[in-house]
Amino acid sequence: MDSELSPQDKRDLDKFIKFFALKTVQVIVQARLGEKISTRSFSSPTGSDWFNLAIKDIPEVTHEAKKALAGQLPGMGRSMCVEISLKTSEGDSMELETWCLEVNEKCDKDIKVSYTVYNRLSVLLKSLLAVTRVTPAYKLSRKQGHDFVMLYRIYFGEVQLSGLGEGFQTVRVGVVSTPVGTVTLSCAYRTNLAFMSNRQFERPTPITGIIVDHFVDSPCGGQRPANMAQPCNYRATDREDVGQLAAVQDSQEVCTTSFSTSPPSQLYTSRVYYPPLAELCHPAANPNQALHSGKKYSNVLTSVHPPPEADTHLTVDQAPNTPFRSADDKGLSQSEEERKVVGRQSISPCDPVESLNAISRKVGAFVNKPSTQIKAACLDLPFAAFAPRGLDFGESDPMLQPPDSPPSLSPLQASHVSQGSEGSGNQDDFVMVDFKPAFSKDDLLPMDLGTFYREFQNPPQLASLSSQTSSQSMANDLDSLPEKLAIYEKNIDEFDAFVDMLH
């Protein structure tokens, strides 16, 4: 089969496939970092941009890819696969997609290696760039952050799709025929995200300052499983740095491709500069391991700077001054949050220790507090009303000395403390917090909003509902009933005429 392929072409072809595999991994992993990618065009060839495309090389990714390949090239039964999975903060993980680079035995002997194959591989890489933004995992990767992160795993061998669940879809990115086989690039992606339906991935509000290293697993006494995720933090560098780094790593892998415009029948003068064969032949550290299809390791796609659109997991405990979670929250109900957050706001930010030691309590919404108890010295500081006042309010604390109230028939009123006399009680454990509505000041009006609210929270009972008079009125009603009936019967004609008028 290869006898018709010149040694030069064979070397070129192996080189192209090797670097195509490495660039494929870079494109896929970078598309799942959660950030938008942007590279510059250069009118002059730089010598280090394979396939004439500006694809940065993340050193860790290249290292992992080379480790997986272990000096081999994709071939029959030896596919290079990049598996993208998702791991939540609770430790659940799910495979989302598997990208496969396969080479089958269908050959095209007539195709020109250094021209047609190279250009077609370049087009295939462009297709990969486009398709990686289209699969469902892309949108998820743009939302990764505190709730979940994306992991990648590179393996070499048989394709494993069982982790994608039922009904996974496949999309073929493209094929390139070569004299030694047909290179096929495809993606199989999960469609059943049922496990993730209860999770919250729709969090548009980011939080700055989150350190995305929650999933860095510390080694546990040397018993680290072989398949444990390895975090790979990538710090975005300038192109020059990456170019230099790539140059240092692949100093002899210069890609200076010249093409000829001569007719195909003439000998083409293209030359691809590449190093001695030492770089091409990497003896596998463990050939058996290279062919082992088990899970070797995963790598965490994180970035040092949290993506601007990263979703976050807000909890009330972490954000005491944040009133509400995002509107898409499906966990705590808003009312629960309000209660919890309100409870939090009673703690003074100025005296955290004291506030933690004190039981801060808010005046209930329906507690009727006389206006004289309102502190005249209202501070203009925000949330000053929520600062603990010590024992100042203790003597007139309606919660401790419930004022007298008229007997109430309403169960709602019965559960509230209403106006009444003062009393004494043990006020040592309580810190009274004055009820101050937001943005309301005492000095503006004779009666401020809070006072008004409290004054009219408990309106006087209706006379007719009072139990003392109700029985009397009932008796009076019964007594007067026959007289009323007599009057109505007397005026029955008028009533009939009225009813007829209505028809």
Partner 1 sequence: MNCRSEVLEVTVEARQVEEAILSLLHTILLHRSTGKFHYKKEGTYSIGTVGTVDIDCDFIDFTFVRVSSEELDRVIRKAVSEFKDALSNSGSDGMGQISLEFYQKKKSRWPFSDECIPWEVWSIKVNVVNLANEQERQICREKVGEKLGEKVINVVEVINRHEYLPKMPTQSEVDNVFDTSLKDVQPYLYKITYQITDSLGTSVSTTMRRLIKDTLAL
- The footprint of partner 1 (CB under 8 A) covers 36-46, 49, 52-54, 115, 120, 123-124, 126-127, 129-131, 133-135, 138-139, 142, 171-177, 256-262, 269-270
> Exposed (0-12), middle (13-18) or buried (19+): which is 262, by Cβ within 10 Å?
exposed
Distance separating alpha carbons of residues 421 and 404, to the nearest angstrom: 5
Write down the least CB distance from residue 243 to partner 1, Å. 11
Question: At residue 381, what are phi and psi to the nearest 5 degrees?
Answer: -75, 145
121/433 with CB nearer partner 1: 121
251/262 with CB nearer partner 1: 262
40/503 with CB nearer partner 1: 40
301/385 with CB nearer partner 1: 301
Residue 199 · residue 147 · CB < 8 Å: yes
Tracing tokens 């396939």 back to the chain, one arrives at 51
Write down the least CB distance from residue 50 to partner 1, Å. 10
Return the axis-axis angle of helices 7-30 and 59-69, rounded to nearest 10°: 130
119/401 with CB nearer partner 1: 119
50/393 with CB nearer partner 1: 50
- C-alpha 267, offset from chain centre: 57
262/470 with CB nearer partner 1: 262
Write down the least CB distance from residue 122 to partner 1, Å. 8
Write down the least CB distance from residue 464 to partner 1, Å. 48
Write down the least CB distance from residue 331 to partner 1, Å. 22
Question: At residue 241, what are phi and psi to the nearest 5 degrees?
Answer: -65, -45
Vertex 196 angle, CA 341 and 160, to 5°: 150
Distance separating alpha carbons of residues 111 and 121, to the nearest angstrom: 13
111/245 with CB nearer partner 1: 111
Distance separating alpha carbons of residues 126 and 122, to the nearest angstrom: 6
Distance separating alpha carbons of residues 499 and 220, to the nearest angstrom: 91
Write down the least CB distance from residue 104 to partner 1, Å. 15
129/291 with CB nearer partner 1: 129
Question: At residue 81, what are phi and psi to the nearest 5 degrees?
Answer: -125, 140
Of 62, 83, 69, 172, the residue nearest 124 (C-alpha): 172
111/284 with CB nearer partner 1: 111
Distance separating alpha carbons of residues 397 and 420, to the nearest angstrom: 11
Write down the least CB distance from residue 335 to partner 1, Å. 25
Of 101, 130, 106, the residue nearest 16 (C-alpha): 101
Write down the least CB distance from residue 380 to partner 1, Å. 41
- Where do the DSSP E strands lie in 315-426? 359-362
**Among the residues of 346-466, which ranges form H helices?**
352-357, 411-414, 449-455
At 155, is the secondary structure helix, strand, or coil? strand
Write down the least CB distance from residue 269 to partner 1, Å. 6
Q: Letter for the amino acid at 314?
A: L
Write down the least CB distance from residue 174 to partner 1, Å. 3
